Amino acid sequence: MIVILFLLLIWAFSSLLFYTMKLGISPMPTSSKVKRRLLALSPKLHKVKIIECGCGWGTLLFALAKKYPDCLIQGYELSTICYLFLKIRLLFYPYPNLRISRKDFFKVSFQDASLIVCYLYPKAMQRLAKKKMREGAYLLTHTFHLPGYKPIIEQQMKDVYSTSLFLYRF
């Protein structure tokens, strides 16, 4: 039994390391303070699709599902460990409006999304800026801005990192 647990731990660590190297960043949860402020900044929406790009451990994903119970919340995550964690978490905290897919969000259309939420690193934000967004859609992000676009709201948090929050409209 101990050997199996040890092998599972090695696999989990290796998987996290592999996807950190592949994607260029490790899964980072959004702090509670930033999460609350992002949710306060998010637009009032009803019966639309909301996408979270790279949902990691689900910090924002589950909060979005709770805030928008009549919207379809679609999370995308490539990391095997995070994806499995999210699926298990969904078993214990089910939200009928929440879907989690193990897909590269850069290969998914955003044309049916009214809100895109993300916490990505600068290189991924550069790639995201090239994606076609639906006219009128919002993008809500923190820490890193979307190059080439002017946010409709930009705020600086009074937290340890002076986290920047950005809301864009296309």
The predicted structure's pLDDT at residue 10:
66
Rounded to 10°, the helix 32-41/59-67 angle is 40
For the chain, residues with pLDDT lower than 70 are 3, 5-27
Global confidence as pTM:
0.87
- In the block, tokens 């890193």 appear at 144
Question: Please, how many CA atoms are within 13 Å of residue 96, restricted to the half-sphere of its CB?
Answer: 2
Domain ranges of the chain: 28-169
Contact 62, 91 (CB under 8 A): no
What dotted CATH number matches 28-169? 3.40.50.150
The predicted structure's pLDDT at residue 160:
86
The predicted structure's pLDDT at residue 25:
64
pLDDT in tens, 88-127: 999 999 999 999 999 999 999 999 999 999 999 999 999 9
What lies within 8 Å, CB to CB, of 43 at 6+ separation is 115, 138, 167
